[in-house]
Amino acid sequence: MEFPPSQEYCTPDGRRWRKCAGAAIINSAGHLLVGERIKIAGAWNCPQGGMDASSREHSRPETVLMAAAREAFEEVGLKVGEHIVPIAAMDDEQAVRYAAGGWLAQEGFAGQQLHWALFQMCDVVGDSEPSHVCTLGGLGGEEPEFARVEWRPFEAVVAAMWANKREPYEALMRWALPLLEQRAQLARGIDFTGTWQRQATLNDNVVEALVARGLDVLAAQREASKPYIQEWARHDSLPLGDWMVTTLDVDGQGAYRAVVYALGDWEETLERPSVLYGNASAMQPDELLRRTGWVALHPEGFAHTTWSSRVNGVAEITARRLRHDGAMVVARTFLVDGRRPVVCEEIFQRQPADPK
């Protein structure tokens, strides 16, 4: 198929530069999504491509965000609002020019003017392992670009970049890191500290979710209506660090289970049966593989997320966020191989502090 011509920029010296957009996608660890190019083994870079002079979708010249979002979809299958959310985009003054030969030179271009757009992964599964959500077969009429994808630290991406392309990636790192620090400042304002009690009457689809985990309807109704109390406390001195989460017994006195939710990958041994992970009748300890991070909900919002999985194909994605009225909203997505995901939502209210 034919593709629209790209926009161009002409410098005062008369040289023409093809305007292109790069999609810099980061995860909750601040790592950059890069793919290994099919045609150049060992060469890793971000999705990028020309900015269309007349967008097929919008019937007007593409903005940097529009072009970068399209490239992210065409080359790695990620959609804005479903997998990624936009953060910022470079203008002409911030863009980086670099020389390029080949067909660009034949068309009279001195090289490319690369504008970066910054996105954050908002899919908790993709935040851990991008291959689970990326599509690399080429979409929108494009040929496949990448053989595989990975999350890599900015510094590692820049250090491994070939010389002709290193300057644009150095510029990306200088531009993006302050923006990521600003986002970290926003997330630091999210404070789960305190004692939280579930408001069973406000639950949504919890009974159905428990039935999907193997309980009969009556047992699921009993579990959904039980008191559920947790204490949240910071586990270290880092504002975005680990949390100690203690689940209390029904009377709210003794600790039923205490877990450190560590950022990144970790493991937990379930010593007692758990209805949440589909092993309500298990008599032996069960192992969970878990990953915790802060995932973007929209440009200014975050959710504290945990992806928990067992070796038998059962997994749960939990996302916790603070609502405008101070309530904690806990959304759980229960996944079983070959079955439709089941989503439920619980509402927790922070309890008044003990005056003692």
Tell me what pLDDT residue 128 has. Answer: 81
| Better-scored residue on pLDDT, 186 or 230 | 230
Task: State pLDDT tens for residues 12-59.
Answer: 999 999 999 999 999 988 899 999 999 998 999 999 999 999 877 777
| Better-scored residue on pLDDT, 116 or 189 | 116
Tell me what pLDDT residue 50 has. Answer: 94
Tell whether the model's pLDDT for residue 89 goes beyond 50. yes
What does the mean pLDDT of the chain come to?
87
Q: Which domains does the chain have, with CATH numbers?
A: 8-187 (3.90.79.10), 191-350 (2.40.128.20)
Tokens of 169: 């990636």
Residue 294's pLDDT band, with cuts at 50, 70 and 90, is confident
Q: What's the average model confidence in pLDDT over 230-242?
A: 75
Rounded to 5 degrees, what are φ and ψ at 126? -65, -30
Q: What separation in angstroms does the CA of 240 have from each of 68, 129, 256, 303?
A: 29, 21, 25, 12
Q: What's the average model confidence in pLDDT over 106-129?
A: 90
DSSP letters, 219-270, are HHHHHHHS--EEEEEE-SS-TTS-EEEEEEPTTSSSEEEEEEE-BEEEEEEE
Residue 298's pLDDT band, with cuts at 50, 70 and 90, is low
Q: What's the average model confidence in pLDDT over 294-300?
A: 69
Q: What's the average model confidence in pLDDT over 281-291?
A: 68
Tell me what pLDDT residue 10 has. Answer: 93
Which secondary structure element, helix H or strand E, spans residue 160, and what is its range? Answer: helix 154-160
Tell whether the model's pLDDT for residue 4 goes beyond 80. no
Closest Cα partner for 245 from 265, 230, 256, 229?
Answer: 230
Tell whether the model's pLDDT for residue 1 goes beyond 60. no
Tell me what pLDDT residue 248 has. Answer: 87
